[in-house]
Amino acid sequence: MACSQKAKIIYFDGKGRAETARLLLAQAGVDFDDERVPFGEVWQKKKAELDLPYGMPALEINGEVFFQSLAIVNYLARKYDLYGKTAEDQLKIDMIGQCIHDLATKLPVFAKEDKEKKLDELFEKTYPPLLKKLETYIPDKGFIINNKVSLADIGIFRIFEGVNDMRSGSLDKYSKLKRVYDDVAKLPNIAAWVKKRPKTEF
């Protein structure tokens, strides 16, 4: 019988849409390959080689390549017991995950003009009603789903990371979300990954 290969995350040299998958693997204690592809010709070659018209990130398992970031993180969460126990748990995790995805897509990560103005608009007008609604699903203490760390908590940690990369402290007034972020940051496996991963611009 052939030996199974390590899982591989394939993405650019940044956190971006791949980081939640990396964090899930780190929390699960899974050794994985972290392939970081430069922009430009190398990326175009890799895209053609792996047949990735939808782009990255991609997850390679035993030579088979899968794509779409939400599908990847949901798979990893299910596989490594980070996805709740019931269908209702998973519904709530998916709902929070899609909210986080919506928040992330609004960040002007690659804006070249009026970036500070766009951030002001985001944090003063766009984000407040979305974050206030999201906070209604966060308990006063402990992790979100039955006080057991899940994809929902790790997703919140990731969006806070992305925001803090652009404007530190902008979400600190959302106390429940901030508490979840802090609780995830203290998890030994998460802290170890954050310490060892490459320092990147995004």
The number of beta carbons lying within 10 Å of the beta carbon of residue 51 is 10
Q: What pLDDT, on a 0 to 100 scale, did the predictor assign at position 201?
A: 77
Is 174's pLDDT higher than 60?
yes
- Please give the sequence-ordered ranges of beta strands (E in DSSP) within the chain, or none if there are none: 8-12, 33-37, 58-61, 64-67
Highest mean pLDDT among 41-50, 105-114, 138-147: 138-147
Asked if residues 93 and 151 have their Cβ atoms less than 8 Å apart, the reply is: yes
Is 3's pLDDT higher than 60?
no
Rounded mean pLDDT, 135-150: 94
Nearest 5°: phi and psi at 65? -105, 130
Cα-Cα end-to-end distance for the chain: 41
pLDDT range class, residue 1, cuts 50, 70, 90: very low
Please report how many Cα atoms fall inside a 13 Å half-sphere around the Cα of residue 59, on the Cβ side: 22
Number of H helices, E strands in the chain: 9, 4
For the chain, domains (ranges, CATH) are 8-80+189-196 (3.40.30.10), 87-187 (1.20.1050.10)
Written as one letter, the residue type at 175 is S
Asked if residues 76 and 21 have their Cβ atoms less than 8 Å apart, the reply is: yes
Token readout for 142 is: 């402990």
Is 143's pLDDT higher than 60?
yes
Q: What pLDDT, on a 0 to 100 scale, did the predictor assign at position 178?
A: 94
Is 96's pLDDT higher than 60?
yes
pLDDT range class, residue 151, cuts 50, 70, 90: very high
Q: What pLDDT, on a 0 to 100 scale, did the predictor assign at position 4?
A: 60
pLDDT range class, residue 138, cuts 50, 70, 90: very high
Tell me the longest C-alpha to C-alpha distance in the chain. 58
Q: How far is CA 9 from CA 14, 128, 135, 146, in A?
A: 12, 33, 31, 29
Asked if residues 159 and 100 have their Cβ atoms less than 8 Å apart, the reply is: yes
